[in-house]
Amino acid sequence: MMNSLGRKSLLKGTNEPVDPRNLSDLEKRHLPVIDAPDRVETGKCFEATVEVGRLLAHPAEHQHFIQYLELYADDTFLARVDWTAARTCPKVTFHVALEVPAEELRANAHCNMHGTWLGRKAVTVVEAGGHQPTRALGAAP
């Protein structure tokens, strides 16, 4: 599927960098950057800070601003924050705990002019004590 910029997107209407090693200014302004531990334990709370505009400042004006950001573990929704125009900065720290294995954290940031942008951060989820969890989503413990 092609997004509004005429580029291939993985998710309907969601933008990702064409070449992550050579970002355009548009990509730098919109890409959510996730700071989180590389490795977390199941059920243990950790911080995931997500910022839009870290690579190149995004406007924060009434006509052009980041409206919201959602955090996922793979496809599982974790949290969302909504911002107002001009009075907020698109940076937030979530406190989350993962109960099942996940391969990555995903952040969807939505700009009112340029659509939704996806940032990713690989994460390894281990059982307390350092072992890889073996139970599947929805399986009894």
Kindly compute the dihedral angle of the four CA atoms of residues 35, 40, 43, 48, in this order, to the nearest 10 degrees. 0
Q: How far is the CB of 61 from Fe ion (least distance, A)?
A: 10
Q: Is the Cβ of residue 78 or residue 85 nearer to Fe ion in the bound state?
A: 85
Smallest gap from residue 115 Cβ to Fe ion (A): 8
- If binding means CB under 5 A, how many residues of this protein chain bind Fe ion? 3
Q: Is 114 in the site for Fe ion (CB under 5 A)?
A: yes
Tell whether residue 31 is a contact of Fe ion (CB under 5 A): no
User: Which of 31, 92, 98, 111 contacts Fe ion by CB under 5 A?
Assistant: 111
Number of other residues whose CB lies within 10 A of the CB of residue 75: 8
Residue nearest to Fe ion (CB): 111
- Catalog residues that contact Fe ion under the rule CB under 5 A: 111, 113-114
